[in-house]
Structure 1
């Protein structure tokens, strides 16, 4: 179980995602656009289900552990502080792109690892 828990932050934050290069994702630059995309949706990928609320909360489950945190919109980036199963995953500002019912977060303002989620009602 400890080994699995060591790898889940990569699943939560990216790193183990193969995304086709030709996939067309539109960058979200404005808070209003971001809220419109995630409002009332659950962000899902294998073993992960998260809600990102307009009030600035992040909540859900990653494997068997709770995910909690807060977020704000700063200079065109989704900046979040995240806790997973009691482990502080820290603060990071991420580029956000959307393609239909998929959303992609790329850490370090777009220069780091990416995580792609399905947007489910």
Structure 2
């Protein structure tokens, strides 16, 4: 089986063009990273809200989950097709993969 070719996203502009203002879905995840700098959605049925910025090649975010503050985290963002992989702790932590939600009308 061929390895998936993930490509790192290196700029805010590239990130916004690929993933901002689109619904991202994963296991028990459904959220939107807005180009305005906000994050909204749900994780395991709990409300997710936050803010994000781009710094030194990393996607950095602060958020609350059901009103409980999550720590600041800066993540490596990679893309492959309609999928986005984010790796916490500047690439040293756990990775998760989400997909762009497809419009059912397509």
TM-score normalised per structure 2: 0.89
Q: Using the alignment, how far apart are the partners of 2:78 and 2:37 within structure 1? A: 19
Judge conservation of contact 2:21–2:35 (CA < 8 Å) in 1: no
Runs of 4 or more consecutive aligned structure 1 residues displaced over 2 Å after TM superposition: none
88 and 21 in structure 1: CA distance in 2 versus 1, 3 angstrom threshold? farther
Number of residue pairs matched by the alignment:
102
Bigger fraction of residues in helix:
1
The 3-state SS of whatever aligns with 1:69 is strand
The 3-state SS of whatever aligns with 2:89 is helix
Unpaired stretches in structure 1, ≥5 consecutive residues:
1-19
**Corresponding residue for 1:99?**
80
Unpaired stretches in structure 2, ≥5 consecutive residues:
none
> Relative contact order (alpha carbons < 8 A, sep ≥ 6): 1 or 2 greater?
1
The alignment's C-alpha RMSD in Å is 1.6
TM-score normalised per structure 1: 0.79
Could you list the per-position Cα deviations for residues 21-61 of structure 1 after superposition, in whole angstroms to 9, with x for gaps in the alignment? 92211000011100001133111012210000011000001
